[in-house]
Structure 1
């Protein structure tokens, strides 16, 4: 039988298999190149998916008419995104970008606190402890603590103890700015040698590109021998050989010869560090852009746009930038914004501590939560160059709410410019008779609506320009020094002070080795003198004394005193005044206010003390917002929305504490000097100061000893009890503190020292705290009473409106992004002083006489068509003020119109001499406030600042 031929032999099977394989390949290629071509192309191009933030505009700040005082403008920013490609060409990209920025006078963003040429740290803080804390944080954020920890505690695995952390922090503070910079140069690999190495390390991946970069960057011809060295460098893994080859390549490519001058090289390295440090400090991981330059011009942005293909990772973005159209105007009210910095509490609130800004001081700080808005952003795809190729999702930003103030822009401008003019005139005036106003460099002025408590103007001079802080390029070195690190020696020279006085005013601190302002001589632009400066009110307090006297019934408006420049209480206290020459003769309340009679008001003070006790004056002053009851734990305020100090009026509780603190220091100084004044001429010095080397037992003894001293000064004690207590503490301290070992201090010496302390604390300190002159001085605005200009304006307002003390406020309303009212602030009476209208009328009449024909401010208000009233004041800075070129504060308070008061004012100039000298500031504010009425009368303002208001 014939065999059947096999249909499927091995050749056919192989053919079928090959057909199937080729079919599968073709199918797969079709899917890859046709069906899913776009998908795979997208994957090839996409290097990251990230969120790009979009900043929300801060809400505006407006004056009471809607004029914009703080707003935003769109800023062109240059950004850099970190990708593998952008990092490979980082230095070439930066060099090209820096050239464009420099050629177009655009400034690279610079908020790195480490500066060069000379090397220094610049932390935005005034006190040394805060600066040290910021320096430690700066160094820890960049890893400098790790090397120290590995050396000090190499075996530490768990969390370090607080003492160990303190030891590391102390070592961190020993690292100089220059050493820190050199560390960052190595850390970020930005030295010429590191840059060169980073380029040739790419040779194995892209030989042609590497050779091109070497030729362009180092202006060399890469010959065959160079290529051989490059090949060997890439292929070898032995460190010694690799280092030798690197040295040969560095020499062959003229790397050393291409270096800039040392100063320029350091500046260039720092520019690289600015970018790399910003990338490192990003609060979120991933491909998030950092800003290289902000607020560049559109022309510069266009040039960079055209070069984007050459600048891997670089892009242009838009961001709202805070701007203040009127510069310094209202800076004390507005505050400023600043980078958040390393502060975890803001991270918890959703801030990016490396890019976001936050309000500091003023309205910007107080209403940060309302002004900031809600940040938006986009989820995007980035290509290999770090640029957006697709937006996947978006969250729209929402602007912050706007704050409309009670401030009148024109009254504010009048206050500031008039203060500047008055102070300049006083500086030129120099010494005249009893005052030397050469240092009249600081002042404040406040205006209040007497019927609502709305603040119409709040000026502090010198001011600052908040635009300096909102500029993302950062503060210049000169501006930083002006605000945070003034050169006091140079300031003294600029004021023409002799070197001996400079040394006295601005001594070098043993602790910091830097000069400090010992006597508060130099002006401080960021300090709000209107809300923080506590100064004696001088004679402007006399209307308050009159209120207490009239309301208590110890005097009537018609009661008279013979003012012959002498006050004698008939009980052993006598004081002679020369400010009124031979005196004003017989004066009643009106005349006493007109002539500012010290004997009259001291007499009222004596009558108040004898009839009602030492606290009666304070009880009335507290009703007017001049201090508050000190025993309460409440934090007192005028109601103002921004930060303030709150002064205090003379009262028995506070005066005892003041004397206790002051005489404790007197006691400690004498004990440390070893030289007595009363019972012993010299003795073994005793140190009650807290020292770093004190053991805990010594610290405890010193604390208890000092508390006991203050208790005796406050409340007195029997001589024997006091001496025994002091002797016991001295014995305990001498036995516990090793510094007295071998001193052989006898019992007699200890007893003599205890007796010496008795004389200081009981017979001087305690006696002085109870003496009647405290009340007499308080009655004329001297002594311990200290208030802010804001409190003084509030007290005048309360007086002339009949006794209603309003809660002061700077904010009139809060608006949403569309201008709709979210919250309207309504006037609020905090307390009614309960004074009689006859009291108000009598005091108003006397204050009217001050600005009348013969008053102490008569010349200033001559010719002003609206009747005003006020009170001048002069308050002593210190008994030794002439020795340090200081003089009395000039103080003025007032109101207008006289019949139906609408505005109350307070003005203070440090070293202003007399209230009459500074009263022109009040007139300027009146002229601005009443401008419409005055224009209708054809009145020509005396002050140019009012006739030519701010534009």
Structure 2
């Protein structure tokens, strides 16, 4: 019995031991898998098998006032690559097949990769060189090119501050060429050598996309965007042969009218600045597109919508096995505008045709060469609401070029962001024989005058400036940004000031003999010719410069120089000096804001311009009378110490104060003190100046600042020139159009706006934009009617009569022909007058006000034809009805 019991116990013990060994082994394996390698497997699970695939939200539509689509989001097919360990093993052979199918079907690979080959170069979407440098530095830092540089610098200077380290690293990063950057990324992404540069770059685009997107979590890399339906189906049929490749759908931004309305629409593009701001708002800064310029940027928050996404399980080849959850995307809000698509189209077409006509017949006008009539603007406003009916800037651009990555060609990129101003400048100079205007100077010297090297860019020897606004810029909004003299379109404003101040009546007459005595200087108007006796109506009709100069003289003598500005400010032509009023028309997109002549503005402008003149004279060492003086360089230098910077600023402030205040504030001893300190402290200006040379130096400054600049501040010519729309008067086309709208409606200035209402994706109104009055000018009705009578005469029998001779609707207007600074100056640089026109219609009950300008367009009367085409489109139904009635 005892033996049996012992045997039994031994058997159970053995089984127990075996079981313990098995469980111990399993526990040990589980510990190894869950604890030792748990993190690794968790990462593989998270990063390889279960993913969230984001779903872009359709941007809200942008509609015109009649519901026509100006911008919309269309569903497109997108070819993507899902990265897994398995799909990566065949990445290059798979992509070879993908690229071949794309090429055979005429489809483009998505390409917003800024590093180009053949030739090697960076293409960042900015026309500012400093911005491009910043983007290049970020590009290289994002890809780790800074790490080796940073390590090397720190090895030599362990105590270097973070700021100095960053500055030095950035400086070195800019030295890395595009070619060397490409080679570094070939190595980083392990791209084989057996391919051409273009093929290697195609692989690099996808590899780089995957790396950049890894910083913000997993996301498939887009191979091709907006592919055709047929191409999408071909890929769907071949998915088993293409590991990692898949076809998705995604909303694509579309502008059905191409470049129509580009001046106010803007476009969408990759995030290029304010990265943290967008990141905080939930954007993927490596791939998301945002509004750039225009309404797309101004209402980004409303248009963008809310992203969705799917949680999916992928197999080893990156194919979706199962959807575990989803979150729907939600479209952005729709903007319905005050813009009328038909009027916008008519304005753009007419302006383009007029400029083409001027270029083809470049010498068809006296005193004008319109070869470079390549830029223009037009604005049409509802005079009773401030709603903008049309906003045109030419040349324009096609926003579709940016909504689909890879569509923008190198040629288009250069045209938009990096124009060759040297090549353009040489052609411009030769076309006009401009070297003949510069005796003894070579073509290269003239090129450096008109298109100088931009010295604000460090170490730059090639980037040039368009100093005189000659090159046509598609991304520059000439309607809202360009400040130009209004010319004779300002004369109705002078008339309002004269009537309201009481210095004239509608019957005040003046004898116009085509000259005007401006304090001893005789201004001649030979081109206009003598008009004889003119009153207010005929002075506006015939655009009499002497008449309005006399009105300005009377205003100045009675009430001072700022009286003209006091009335112009009411109409939105600038803001009162020192006031807290925001300088804005109210438009939702970016704008400049010009100013009318006034004494404070005059002083500040003279101080700024004559400071530049003084600094140039001092640096060259030759005064305005040709005598040699001590050379002093007051320009900023990157090596200047804080003390030297302070001394230079003190001298500049002293010069400006001398210009503004004249001889009573000219402190000779202070100049001596500051120059003596500067020549001791500044290595670039280190020299001993004798008392005699110091006196000559200070005398040269006195001559420029006091004898010349200050003496001109208080001359009658300032307000007299302003009264005819010249001198310091400079406004945007938008400002001028609003001033005419204010005049047309009887004196109420409205806030300008492009958006009429905000709608949800179902078309329901979320918010209606109501007309907002910025100012009631309180100008007497009889004075406005007196000015309108003159503007009616312009279109009936004056300078615009030919344009409106056969137009059935009664209109009123004013032509304007404005010079840049002086006739001699603009001839010297090859430019000619701005051709301007303002007007409103109908005459008896105004609805629409317009302003049109052609840069280098010659006589303003030519722009009246563009205004007529705008009216024709706006009143198309009325004109059609009247024509039908006549035919019946």
Q: Contact conserved, 1:295 with 1:472, CA < 8 A, in 2?
A: no
Cα deviation, residue 101, structure 1:
1.2
Give the structure 1 partner of residue 741 of structure 2: 797
Cα deviation, residue 82, structure 1:
1.7
Give the structure 2 partner of residue 402 of structure 1: 334
Matches within 5 A, 1:369-384: 369-384=301-316
Alignment partner of 1:290 out of 195, 218, 221: 221
Give the structure 2 partner of residue 13 of structure 1: 11
Q: What is the rounded CA distance, in whole Å, between the counterparts of 1:8 and 1:141 in structure 2?
A: 75
Q: Contact conserved, 2:679 with 2:688, CA < 8 A, in 1?
A: no
Q: What is the rounded CA distance, in whole Å, between the counterparts of 1:153 and 1:396 in structure 2?
A: 49
Q: What is the rounded CA distance, in whole Å, between the counterparts of 1:341 and 1:108 in structure 2?
A: 21
Cα deviation, residue 451, structure 1:
0.7
Q: Contact conserved, 2:736 with 2:851, CA < 8 A, in 1?
A: yes
Give the structure 1 partner of residue 832 of structure 2: 887
Alignment partner of 2:646 out of 700, 723, 733: 700
TM-score (norm 2): 0.92
Give the structure 1 partner of residue 131 of structure 2: 130
Cα deviation, residue 8, structure 1:
7.9
* SS of residue in 1 equivalent to 2:309: strand
Alignment partner of 1:683 out of 629, 642, 662: 629
Q: Contact conserved, 2:295 with 2:588, CA < 8 A, in 1?
A: yes
* SS of residue in 2 equivalent to 1:724: helix
Cα deviation, residue 757, structure 1:
0.7
Give the structure 1 partner of residue 718 of structure 2: 774
Give the structure 2 partner of residue 85 of structure 1: 86
Q: What is the rounded CA distance, in whole Å, between the counterparts of 2:691 and 2:45 in structure 1?
A: 92
Confirm or deny that 1:467 pairs with 2:415: no
Cα deviation, residue 838, structure 1:
0.7
* SS of residue in 1 equivalent to 2:155: coil
Give the structure 1 partner of residue 483 of structure 2: 534
* Larger-gyration structure (1/2): 1
Q: Contact conserved, 2:110 with 2:404, CA < 8 A, in 1?
A: no
Matches within 5 A, 1:633-652: 633-652=580-599
Cα deviation, residue 163, structure 1:
1.7
Confirm or deny that 1:420 pairs with 2:352: yes
Give the structure 1 partner of residue 32 of structure 2: none
Q: Contact conserved, 1:82 with 1:313, CA < 8 A, in 2?
A: yes
| Residue 940 to residue 888, structure 1, CA distance change in 2 (3 Å) | farther
Give the structure 1 partner of residue 378 of structure 2: 445
Confirm or deny that 1:836 pairs with 2:786: no
Cα deviation, residue 454, structure 1:
0.7
Deviations 1:329-372 (A, max 9, x none): 11111111111246121101110011211111111111110000
Cα deviation, residue 929, structure 1:
0.4
Cα deviation, residue 727, structure 1:
2.1
Q: Contact conserved, 1:46 with 1:384, CA < 8 A, in 2?
A: no
| Residue 14 to residue 285, structure 1, CA distance change in 2 (3 Å) | farther
Q: What is the rounded CA distance, in whole Å, between the counterparts of 1:152 and 1:624 in structure 2?
A: 60
The range that moved more, 326-335 or 308-317, is 308-317
The range that moved more, 300-309 or 928-937, is 300-309
> How many matched pairs?
848
The range that moved more, 421-430 or 626-635, is 626-635
Confirm or deny that 1:277 pairs with 2:208: yes
Matches within 5 A, 1:444-843: 444-492=377-425, 497=431, 504-509=449-454, 511=457, 512-514=460-462, 515-568=464-517, 571-581=519-529, 583-678=530-625, 681-718=627-664, 721-741=666-686, 743-843=687-787
Alignment partner of 2:198 out of 257, 260, 267: 267
Cα deviation, residue 561, structure 1:
0.5
| Residue 537 to residue 20, structure 1, CA distance change in 2 (3 Å) | same
Deviations 1:276-314 (A, max 9, x none): 110110154554211111111111111211221222211
Q: What is the rounded CA distance, in whole Å, between the counterparts of 2:728 and 2:348 in structure 1?
A: 29
Q: What is the rounded CA distance, in whole Å, between the counterparts of 2:160 and 2:759 in structure 1?
A: 49
Deviations 1:432-469 (A, max 9, x none): 32111111100000000111111000011000100001
Alignment partner of 2:298 out of 341, 363, 366: 366
Alignment partner of 1:909 out of 806, 829, 854: 854
Q: What is the rounded CA distance, in whole Å, between the counterparts of 2:646 and 2:426 in structure 1?
A: 45
Q: Which runs of 4+ in 1 moved over 6 A?
A: 18-22, 43-46, 155-159
Cα deviation, residue 162, structure 1:
1.0
Alignment partner of 1:919 out of 859, 864, 868: 864
Give the structure 2 partner of residue 206 of structure 1: none
Q: What is the rounded CA distance, in whole Å, between the counterparts of 1:411 and 1:312 in structure 2?
A: 52
Q: Contact conserved, 2:835 with 2:859, CA < 8 A, in 1?
A: yes
Structure 1: segments with no counterpart, 5+ residues: 29-39, 193-258, 942-951
Q: What is the rounded CA distance, in whole Å, between the counterparts of 1:608 and 1:45 in structure 2?
A: 79
Alignment partner of 1:872 out of 815, 829, 835: 815
Q: Contact conserved, 1:283 with 1:354, CA < 8 A, in 2?
A: no
Q: Contact conserved, 2:854 with 2:863, CA < 8 A, in 1?
A: yes
Q: What is the rounded CA distance, in whole Å, between the counterparts of 2:223 and 2:309 in structure 1?
A: 20
Q: What is the rounded CA distance, in whole Å, between the counterparts of 1:21 and 1:674 in structure 2?
A: 102
Structure 2: segments with no counterpart, 5+ residues: 27-40, 434-442
Give the structure 1 partner of residue 318 of structure 2: 386
Deviations 1:377-431 (A, max 9, x none): 1112222122221122211111000000000001000110000000011111212
Q: What is the rounded CA distance, in whole Å, between the counterparts of 2:136 and 2:630 in structure 1?
A: 41
| Residue 601 to residue 73, structure 1, CA distance change in 2 (3 Å) | same
Give the structure 2 partner of residue 337 of structure 1: 268
Q: What is the rounded CA distance, in whole Å, between the counterparts of 1:672 and 1:159 in structure 2?
A: 36
Q: What is the rounded CA distance, in whole Å, between the counterparts of 1:46 and 1:869 in structure 2?
A: 70
The range that moved more, 636-645 or 337-346, is 337-346
* SS of residue in 1 equivalent to 2:306: coil
Q: What is the rounded CA distance, in whole Å, between the counterparts of 1:349 and 1:165 in structure 2?
A: 27
Give the structure 2 partner of residue 858 of structure 1: 801
Q: Contact conserved, 2:154 with 2:160, CA < 8 A, in 1?
A: no
Give the structure 1 partner of residue 36 of structure 2: none
Cα deviation, residue 9, structure 1:
4.2
Q: What is the rounded CA distance, in whole Å, between the counterparts of 2:158 and 2:706 in structure 1?
A: 57
* SS of residue in 2 equivalent to 1:270: helix
Cα deviation, residue 15, structure 1:
13
Cα deviation, residue 474, structure 1:
4.6
Cα deviation, residue 5, structure 1:
8.0
The range that moved more, 280-289 or 296-305, is 280-289
Give the structure 1 partner of residue 38 of structure 2: none
| Residue 732 to residue 319, structure 1, CA distance change in 2 (3 Å) | same
Give the structure 1 partner of residue 60 of structure 2: 59
* SS of residue in 2 equivalent to 1:770: coil
Q: What is the rounded CA distance, in whole Å, between the counterparts of 1:777 and 1:158 in structure 2?
A: 62
Q: What is the rounded CA distance, in whole Å, between the counterparts of 1:17 and 1:45 in structure 2?
A: 41
Q: What is the rounded CA distance, in whole Å, between the counterparts of 2:693 and 2:315 in structure 1?
A: 85
RMSD of equivalent CA atoms = 2.5
Q: What is the rounded CA distance, in whole Å, between the counterparts of 1:900 and 1:615 in structure 2?
A: 33
Deviations 1:169-221 (A, max 9, x none): 111111111111111111111132xxxxxxxxxxxxxxxxxxxxxxxxxxxxx
| Residue 894 to residue 939, structure 1, CA distance change in 2 (3 Å) | farther
Deviations 1:533-563 (A, max 9, x none): 1100000000000000000000011110000
| Residue 385 to residue 940, structure 1, CA distance change in 2 (3 Å) | farther
Q: What is the rounded CA distance, in whole Å, between the counterparts of 2:295 and 2:885 in structure 1?
A: 34
Q: Contact conserved, 1:533 with 1:645, CA < 8 A, in 2?
A: yes
